[in-house]
Amino acid sequence: MLTPQQKDTITEIINIGVGKGSASLSQMIDGEIILNVPYVNLISFDQVFSELRKLQVSDVHAVELKFSGEYEGLANIILPEDSAKLLASLLIHEDPDSAAIVEMKDGLMIEVGNIILNAIMGSFGNMLDVPLDYHMPKSYQGDITKIYGELDQERFNQILICRTNFRIRDKDISGEILIMYEMSSFSKLKSVLDKLVEG
């Protein structure tokens, strides 16, 4: 369980990272992007699919960023396929159903994931005063249960979930940001959060 104070601290850290990522993406599309983090919660592995089904779609585009160092785990950004196509179209000013989007969407989503996830995890690293190493992001498309069905349940039996709403140029683009910590790393994280709460 997370205490209300721990949730508030995590939300603050993520908001800082999301703000940085939002500013970078806004420059890329030459328009306003607003990313909110209205929901942060700690869930067990077997709850993750019920949370992800709240996207109300099964066909998704996901980008995964592995991080290691003092803390180890995965950070993911997950968008319904239609939202991913719309976001890609805004980045290169093409119709969402154009051949250019089909060809370039995968690379564009990796770029988006890299910007947002690096900004968020960078905020965690700075706030917790620990360096984090990042692996090359990977892109996945398809059924959400297949994408995440092969995760190691023992390794990721505690999942920090952050539901993020995207609003871009009056267009609704919805998505999820998931940060998954190995159990040993999560125990360290809670300990550091308590120290931050105590001031």
Per-residue pLDDT reduced to its tens digit, 83-97: 899 889 988 989 999
pTM for the full predicted model: 0.83
pLDDT at 56: 64
101 — pLDDT class (breaks 50, 70, 90): very high
pLDDT mean over 147-166: 77
pLDDT at 65: 92
pLDDT at 70: 81
CA distances from 24 to 33, 79, 113 (A): 9, 19, 12
What integer best gives the mean pLDDT of the chain?
Answer: 83
Tokens of 63: 């980008």
pLDDT at 98: 93
Distance CA 100, CA 87 (A): 13
Per-residue burial over 79-93, b if 16 or more Cβ lie within 10 Å, else e, is: bbebbbbbbbbbbee
pLDDT at 156: 77
Distance CA 174, CA 165 (A): 5
